[in-house]
Every structure is written in structure tokens, then in C-alpha cells.
Amino acid sequence: MPFVKVSDIPVKHPGPGWDSRYFHSEHVTFADTEIAAGADVHPHQHEQVEIFYVIDGELEVRIGDEVARVRGGEVAIVPSQVTHSARALSACRLLVIDYPLRESVGGVPTR
């Protein structure tokens, strides 16, 4: 599938306040995600490297012992097997990129 119309992908809800549309390349999972202000994801880790590219809004991200506010146009890169969490300080839109592929997020299948 070399071309993707993201608006045609059904929205999935990997957590309260998180609305994601998942698509995949051969090795990478992408999630076009909108997060409601105040929504968060608990501390966790997984085998994938995870990249949060914030398009709009402000997201507080904890990676290991470091915490930063990530704003529109900024990126947070989470190494594999490192504990991380996030909380939307405002309504956010972001692209989440995982390598290698993720078959599920928060127990929700990505396919």
C-alpha cells in the first residue's frame, strides 16, 4: 500500500482520550493521533523505539528519568525497553512512529 488516505482509516481508542488511526509500512507502525487535554498514558515500556512527533499542542513526556514539554514541531524519541509515559497538557495532534511494527497498543490491535 504505497499511498494511504488517513481519513479513511477507522479511529481506534488505545486509551481514554486517545484517538488513533494506524497504518503500516513493511517495518514501521504509524499512528495519526489526537489526544484530549489531560489524557495520559501510564509508565510502560516495549521493544519498539517510539517517536512522538507533536504537530499541534503540548505533551509532557517522561523518558526514563527525564521529563520535557514537547510542543508542536518538536519530537521525543523513546529508546527500546525504556520506561516512558505521556500526558497532554492541551489538546494535541501527533504522529507516533514505532519500529519495529506494533501489533497492538494498549491492548487494541493496530491492524
CATH number assigned to the domain comprising residue 49: 2.60.120.10
Decide if 59 is inside a domain.
Answer: yes
Decide if 20 is inside a domain.
Answer: no
Q: Cα–Cα–Cα angle for 31, 94, 64, nearest 5°? A: 90
Decide if 47 is inside a domain.
Answer: yes
Decide if 13 is inside a domain.
Answer: no
Decide if 45 is inside a domain.
Answer: yes
Domains contained in the chain, number: 1
The x, y and z cell numbers of residue 49, run together, are 523505539
Cβ atoms within 10 Å, residue 54? 24
Decide if 16 is inside a domain.
Answer: no
Task: State the average pLDDT for the chain.
Answer: 97
**Percent of the chain clearing pLDDT 90 (strictly above):** 98
Give the separation between CA 5 and CA 42, rounded to whole angstroms.
30
Give the model's pLDDT for residue 1. Answer: 66
- Read off the pLDDT of each residue in 86-101 and give the average, rounded to a whole number: 98
Decide if 103 is inside a domain.
Answer: no
**Percent of the chain clearing pLDDT 70 (strictly above):** 99
85: domain range?
39-93
- On the 0-12 / 13-18 / 19+ scale of CB atoms within 10 A, 86 is buried
- Read off the pLDDT of each residue in 78-99 and give the average, rounded to a whole number: 98
Decide if 60 is inside a domain.
Answer: yes
